[in-house]
Structure 1
Amino acid sequence: MIPVVAVLVTIEYMAEKIPNEYSVKNDYLKKNSGKVEVLYLGNSHVYFGINPDYALHQSYNASYISQSLDLDQMILDKYHWKNLKYIVIPADYVSMYYTLETANEKWRVKNYNIYYHFWIGHDLANYAEIFNGKIQDQIKKIENYYVHDKYSRLSTELGFGTSYQSPSPFDINKTAKVAAGRHTFDIQSEEYQNNFEINKEALNRIVRIAEEKKIRVIFLSSPVTLKYYQNCNRTQLARTMKVYDDLLKKYPETCSHIDFMQSSYFNITDFYDGDHLNNIGAEKLTKLVEQKLPKIINH
Structure 2
Amino acid sequence: MNTRNTLLKTLAARLGVRIGVGVGVGAAAGAGLAAWGVSQLTDFRLHQYTLPLLEPGTLRGAPEFRILHVSDLHMIPGQEQKTAWVSALDSLHPDLVINTGDNLSDEHAVPDVLAALGPLLARPGMFIFGTNDYWAPKLSNPLTYLTGAKRKPSYVDLPWRDMRAAFIERGWRDATHKRLEFQVGPVRLAAAGVDDPHHDLDDYSTIAGPPNADADLSLALLHAPYPRVLDRFAADGYQLALAGHTHGGQICLPGGRALTTNSGIEPARAAGLHKHGDMNLHVSNGLGTSKFAPIRLWCPPSATLLKITERS
TM over 0.5: no
Which band: TM-score by shorter chain?
Answer: 0.3 to 0.5
TM-score of the aligned structures, taking structure 1 as reference length: 0.33
Higher strand share: 2
TM-score of the aligned structures, taking structure 2 as reference length: 0.32
